[in-house]
């Protein structure tokens, strides 16, 4: 008998009346699955597929606006939907616990670790004082917090992201639950940390016989961790099978699509062009740390500390690094959005790092940028037309009078069509588009001024896998058509072979390794690169 048995679970958004009346909509449509003790079930799906709702519904934590209209959830011998709210509170944390994606916001910033973890122990196990301290210490050691005794009195902000996630797991384990629900536990973490957390989860479920419901969108994580896989889309489970069978021969079209949306390991031929388009020489960006009432400079944060590389015409250089490595600052310094402390940036033979705002203007047309988050990269108060035309106008490419205006109109429509949208989208606002569509608009905005170099600051990391593939294809097509060069800033190693000609690996503000893509990926020289590559989850079945 399975530990958790979910049957015909249905979640609906009830019909609303009033000015924005809408009929009832089912968000999760009668799904079912089982998890045994010691087993990991991966619930896979893209954003909006209902996987997080399912997790919340299991513990009856759905927001008030939603209702569970049918189904049953059995945990052990108990039917959870027949429990009263106070009985449910005995289940939450005690028999089934949950960890979230963002450890930052799930921990209370004004409580020490002992208080955070101990709260659950006091509540459910009535532990106090020294006994509680010992129990917390044991838990922190179990989840691998170094120097746990000393860190008992630390506050969350003193920990790194991975350590916070470990504390979250310690809190979840405090009352020895049978079931752990992990909602995208590693999405916010760097690859090396992700690997450690996944290993910890694996180890815990073996040691404790824990049943784990792992919610994720990363097929690599699934392949590494799960015993069974359930693929969700639009509130339905499309496929529900043991992991190995699933990866060997996915049945459903959508599952195949998900697996194949993973970029192939296929290297691009390198470019042989003598003259570099962009040259960065010993670039340093230091941020002064100010102190005291007179704002005296007390020291520097060395975000970028002597970085040199070059990009040729039509070439893609992937700049890889974990968060905080300074890779985005490099991009911003090239765009003169951040002042360089030292070093030289030359574009097409011209030194551009010393130019003032006005003299830099001609280069704004030639160097463009695409940002990570398609939701913050467009002004919510402007229509797509205004967004696209803004750069053209300020760079003197816009045409305003009569006949020319219709020509510009035509150009804007062509741009949208080129990135895979329709001309009638011009008068809509950004919030009417999905993340992938918004990223397409951001690309259209960048190519509207016909640049030669585009700095792509993690343009695909906020997107779902299937959409990520499409956006990357679009970037590659544009490169072929327009002869664009890319500086592709990313933390995702899996997409690099497909995309980049050369790779530069960055850590703590310096480049540790740089070279042709297949060299770096296949024979990494630097230990950090080796660690990065080893940490990235790979689907073995596909090799």
The site for other proteins (CB under 8 A) is made up of 18-19, 295, 332, 335, 337, 357, 360-361, 364-365, 367-369, 371-373, 376-382, 390-391, 394-395, 429, 442, 445, 449
Q: Return all residues near 136 (Cβ < 8 A) that are at least 6 apart.
A: 113, 114, 117, 118, 121, 152, 170, 174
Enter the tokens of residue 402. 């009569």
Residue closer to other proteins, measured from CB, 390 or 518: 390
Residue closer to other proteins, measured from CB, 309 or 363: 363
Enter the tokens of residue 458. 């993690």
| Cα separation, 484 vs 479, whole angstroms | 5
| Cα separation, 342 vs 324, whole angstroms | 20
CB 334 → other proteins: shortest distance, Å? 10
Q: Please report how many Cα atoms fall inside a 13 Å half-sphere around the Cα of residue 261, on the Cβ side.
A: 22
539: burial class by Cβ within 10 Å (0-12, 13-18, 19+)?
middle
The residues pairing with 183 across neighbouring beta strands, listed in sequence order, are: 215
Three-state DSSP state, 456: strand
CB 293 → other proteins: shortest distance, Å? 11
| Cα separation, 286 vs 333, whole angstroms | 11
Instruction: Characterize 527-538 residue by residue with b for buried, 16 or more Cβ atoms within 10 angstroms of its Cβ, and e for exposed.
Output: ebbeebbebbbb
Residue closer to other proteins, measured from CB, 200 or 415: 415
CB 358 → other proteins: shortest distance, Å? 9
The residues pairing with 288 across neighbouring beta strands, listed in sequence order, are: 300
**In which order are the strands placed within the sheet that holds 367-370?**
367-370, 453-457, 485-490, 316-320, 502-507, 510-516
CB 21 → other proteins: shortest distance, Å? 11
Residue closer to other proteins, measured from CB, 18 or 269: 18
CB 241 → other proteins: shortest distance, Å? 37
Q: Return all residues near 271 (Cβ < 8 A) that are at least 6 apart.
A: 312, 313, 314, 315, 501
Q: Return all residues near 197 (Cβ < 8 A) that are at least 6 apart.
A: 162, 165, 166, 169, 185, 186, 189
Token look-up 């700095």 returns 455
First to last CA, the chain: 35
CB 389 → other proteins: shortest distance, Å? 10
Residue closer to other proteins, measured from CB, 217 or 332: 332
Residue closer to other proteins, measured from CB, 243 or 475: 475
Three-state DSSP state, 32: strand
CB 371 → other proteins: shortest distance, Å? 4
Helices (H), 338-423: 357-366, 384-394, 402-418
CB 543 → other proteins: shortest distance, Å? 37
Residue closer to other proteins, measured from CB, 372 or 437: 372
Residue closer to other proteins, measured from CB, 155 or 360: 360
Helices (H), 342-484: 357-366, 384-394, 402-418, 435-447, 465-482
Residue closer to other proteins, measured from CB, 164 or 438: 438
Sign of the Cα torsion 75, 80, 84, 85 reads positive
CB 286 → other proteins: shortest distance, Å? 17
CB 452 → other proteins: shortest distance, Å? 14
CB 156 → other proteins: shortest distance, Å? 22
CB 104 → other proteins: shortest distance, Å? 17
Q: What is the DSSP letter of 243?
A: H
């Amino acid at each position: 008998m399975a530990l958790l048995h979910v049957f015909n679970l249905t979640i609906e958004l009830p019909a609303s009346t009033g000015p924005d009346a809408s009929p009832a909509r089912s968000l999760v449509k009668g799904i079912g699955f089982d998890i045994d003790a010691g087993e990991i079930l991966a619930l896979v799906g893209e954003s909006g597929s209902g996987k997080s709702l399912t997790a919340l519904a299991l513990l009856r934590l759905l927001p008030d606006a939603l209702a569970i209209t049918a189904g049953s959830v059995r945990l052990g011998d108990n039917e959870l939907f027949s429990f009263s709210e106070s009985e449910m509170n005995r289940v939450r944390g005690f028999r089934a616990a949950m960890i979230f994606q963002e450890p930052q916001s799930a921990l209370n910033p004004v409580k020490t670790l002992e208080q955070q973890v101990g709260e659950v122990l006091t509540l459910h196990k009535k532990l106090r004082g020294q006994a509680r301290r010992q129990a917390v210490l044991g838990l922190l050691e179990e989840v691998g917090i170094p120097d746990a005794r000393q860190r008992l009195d630390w506050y969350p902000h003193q920990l790194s992201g991975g350590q916070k996630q470990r504390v979250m797991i310690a809190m979840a384990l405090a009352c020895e639950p049978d079931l752990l629900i992990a909602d995208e536990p590693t999405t916010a973490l760097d690859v090396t940390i992700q690997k450690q957390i996944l290993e910890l989860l694996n180890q815990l479920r073996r040691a404790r016989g824990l049943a784990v419901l792992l919610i994720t969108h990363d097929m690599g994580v699934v392949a590494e961790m799960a015993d069974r896989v359930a693929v969700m889309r639009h509130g339905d489970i499309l496929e529900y099978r043991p992991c190995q069978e699933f990866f060997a021969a996915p049945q459903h079209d959508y599952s195949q699509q998900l697996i194949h949306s993973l970029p192939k390991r296929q290297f691009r031929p390198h470019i042989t062009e003598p003259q570099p388009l962009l040259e960065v020489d010993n670039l340093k960006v230091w941020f002064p740390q100010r102190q005291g009432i007179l704002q005296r400079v007390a020291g520097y944060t060395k975000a970028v500390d002597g970085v040199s590389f070059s990009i040729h015409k039509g070439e893609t250089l992937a700049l890889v690094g974990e968060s905080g490595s300074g890779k985005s600052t490099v991009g911003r310094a090239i765009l003169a959005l951040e002042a360089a402390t030292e070093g030289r940036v030359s574009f097409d033979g011209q030194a551009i790092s010393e130019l003032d705002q006005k003299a830099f203007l001609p280069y704004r047309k030639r160097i463009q940028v695409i940002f990570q988050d398609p939701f913050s990269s467009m002004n919510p108060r402007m229509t797509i037309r205004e967004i696209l035309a803004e750069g053209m106008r300020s760079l003197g490419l816009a045409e305003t009078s009569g006949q020319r205006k219709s020509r510009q109109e035509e150009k804007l429509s062509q741009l949208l069509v080129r990135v895979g949208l329709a001309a009638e989208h011009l008068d809509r606002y950004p919030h009417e588009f999905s993340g992938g569509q918004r990223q397409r608009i951001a690309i259209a905005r960048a190519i509207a001024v016909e640049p030669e170099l585009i700095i792509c600051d993690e343009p695909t990391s906020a997107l779902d896998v299937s959409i990520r593939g499409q956006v990357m294809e679009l970037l590659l097509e544009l490169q072929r058509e327009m002869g664009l060069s890319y500086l592709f800033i990313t933390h995702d190693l899996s997409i690099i072979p497909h995309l980049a000609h050369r790779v530069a690996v960055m850590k703590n503000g310096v480049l540790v390794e740089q070279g042709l893509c297949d060299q770096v990926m296949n024979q990494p020289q630097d230990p950090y690169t080796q660690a990065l590559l080893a940490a990235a989850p790979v689907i073995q079945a596909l090799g």
